[in-house]
Every structure is written in structure tokens, then in C-alpha cells.
Amino acid sequence: MTDLSSLPRPEPRPGLEHEYAELGARLNGLLPCVEWPLHLPWIDAILRLKAMRGATILAHSYQSPEIFHGVADVTGDSLALAEAAARCDSAIIVFCGVQFMAETAKILAPDRTVLIPDPAADCSLARSITAADVRALRRRHPGVPVVSYINTSAAVKAESDACCTSANALQVVESMASPRVIFLPDRYLGQYIAAQTTVKLILWEGSCEVHEQFSAAQVRQTRAQFDAQIVAHPECTPEVLAEADFVGSTTAMSGWLRKQRPSRVALVTECSMADNLKAEFPDIAFIQPCNLCPHMQRITLPNIYACLRDLQHEVTVDPQIAARARQSLDRMLAIGRRDRV
């Protein structure tokens, strides 16, 4: 075990601003400027500790900019992070995201130590359904395959035939080669996919507490007031999606921006995503009808530091559940990403 007594404390060292000038420039405009000097000592301490531990930090696109740009080794959507975990060769993975994502990383990298800075980082979709619910659905619809969104617990994945993300949901559903598929738990993503396929989807009543808050009236007002293009995540309601110029997964949204280069855009999704993208698209004005995911926001620089320092909050998954969940995840990974714009 590393001797932690000699580790630098997260207090400013002389010259830090100069040492991290490039990062400071990248974060300029992504954060209120008063925050940068407060974050800097934590970023410095985490990067040093990460190197000492030989750890890799994975961070979801909904993490705040000081994490996404400041300390992460790999950033992306849930599919990208699952793929990164599967091929990660560090002994320790620190997962900056929510619990179901960290569990997925553990299932795909069973011999790595996976840590989550705050184990209470939950998800309303993952909470909406249990393994017993899936077994009951199977009894009600015998022989119908189950596709579960990655936003589910390991136990639900274990009861499923395949997993998907918004980057491949349509292709995973169609790969079941069945006229009917049980699709869970997000009813809005399910409705969005159902409109694109002849497969009849049996849906669950789950929803994302962040995306379902957007309203069609709010989107119409944003377009009228700011003359902005509207880009929405398929976890939004059908009424919101009907107002959008483009609907796509987290990664497809940034692909669309790269291709279309609108002068003004409203990303109808979690707020940090637009903050993070400002660095790549300084020429685009992001109008932010802002909804933050309270679960994603539980991850902070201080709890990343503590998690690395004390190797705390290890993610564990029952090996039998993990083995069955892995089959569902492998089926998804074999299909891969299908959201190229």
C-alpha cells in the first residue's frame, strides 16, 4: 500500500496557476472565474495522487467541467465509458458518474478495483425497475426478449437478453429478431425507438427525472427568443422531441454540432454537457435551458480526492449476477456504436 503520509495536501503550491495555465485557459468561460482558484489545488492533488496510484479516471459527459476537463483520463457517454472500462489496464478505475455506470465498469473489468466517489449517485431510471419486475414481465409476456437500457442495476441487466444505450437502442432491439420486445425502463426512449421500427415494444413506465422536466412550451420559447437550433436527447418527452431540429444520443449531439456548426443552439439535456462542449465549440453560443442531474452532481473534486486517497467506495457486484449481466452487456458491445451523424 502506498504511504499516503507524504502526499501533498490540496493547498495551493506556489506557481500552480502558471503550471496549469493551459487548463485554466481551457476552462475559461466554462466556469465562473472565481471558481478556478478554488478548484486548482484539488485538481493538482488529484492528478498527483492518480499518478501515484496508477489509477484511471473515467468521467461521464454530465460531470462538471473541472472534473471533465480537469482530472479525467477518458470522457464520454455511457457506451464510450463501458468500452473504456472493458479495455482499461489500470489496477484502479475511479468512475465519475452514477452507480449503474460504475457497476457496468466493474462487470466489464472484474479484476480491476472500481471506485465511485459517492456511492449515493443514483439514477431515477435505474431505480424505477427491479429484477423481480423483469421476471414478472417475462411471465406476462412469455418468450418475448428483454432489452434493458444501460441505466439499470446489475440485477436487472442479469434478467435481460441484451443491454443498449441511446447510441444503439434501435439496432439492439432489431437484433433480437422478434416481432415483440420488452424494452425497459425508459418509456420515452422506448416510444422514440418504437416510432422507427416495426418491432412492437412493450414498455415500462420509467423516466429520467432530468429530461422529463423540459416542456415543449419552454423549447418553443427558446427557439423564438434566441433563434436557436434545438437538439434533444431521446429521454425527453415526445412533445419536446417533436420540437427538435435533431434528436440524438449524447455523442450524436456533439457529432451534429461538429457537422452543422449552428451559431446558436439549445441542448435539451443535462446542463453540464453544454458547459463541457463550449471548449470544443467556442464559436457556438449555447443557450442553456438548464437542468442539472442531482445524482451526477454528487461527484466533486474533494470526494474524488478522498476516494483515491483512502481507496474508498469500492463497487462490488455479486459474481453470479455479474456473469449474467455481462452476457447482456457483451451483446450490446458486439453491436457497438450506431449513432454516427
Q: Which of 59, 85, 98, 247 binds ligand SF4 (CB under 6 A)?
A: 98
> What are the C-alpha distances in Å from 258 to residues 29, 79, 150, 254, 275?
20, 20, 26, 6, 16
Whether 162 contacts 145, CB under 8 Å: yes
Nearest-approach distance from CB 334 to ligand SF4, in angstroms: 24
Among 264, 261, 259, 275, smallest CA distance to 222 is for 264
Binds ligand SF4 by CB under 6 A, chosen from 23, 232, 293, 307: 293
Pick the binder of ligand 13P from 153, 250, 272, 300 (CB under 6 A): 250
In the range 61-100, which residues lie near ligand 13P by CB under 6 A?
A: 77-78
Question: Where in 251-270 is the site for ligand SF4 (CB under 6 A)?
Answer: 270
How many residues in the shown chain lie near ligand 13P by CB under 6 A?
9
Smallest gap from Cβ 227 to ligand SF4, in A, equals 27
Helix axes 99-108, 319-335, angle to 10 degrees: 90
DSSP state of 117: S
Contact with ligand SF4 (CB under 6 A) among 123, 147, 154, 247: 123
Q: Which does 328 bind (CB under 5 to 8 A by kind): ligand 13P, ligand SF4, none?
A: none
Q: What is the pattern of x (binds ligand 13P, CB under 6 A) and - over residues 145-184?
A: ------x-------------xx------------------
- Using CB under 6 A as the binding rule, whether residue 235 contacts ligand 13P is answered as yes
Residue 222 in the binding site for ligand 13P (CB under 6 A)? no
Contacts (Cβ under 8 Å, ≥6 apart) of 301: 39, 42, 43, 46, 66, 67, 70, 71
The three cell numbers of residue 244 are 427538435
What's the Cα-to-Cα distance from 76 to each of 1, 5, 94, rounded to whole Å?
Answer: 31, 34, 14
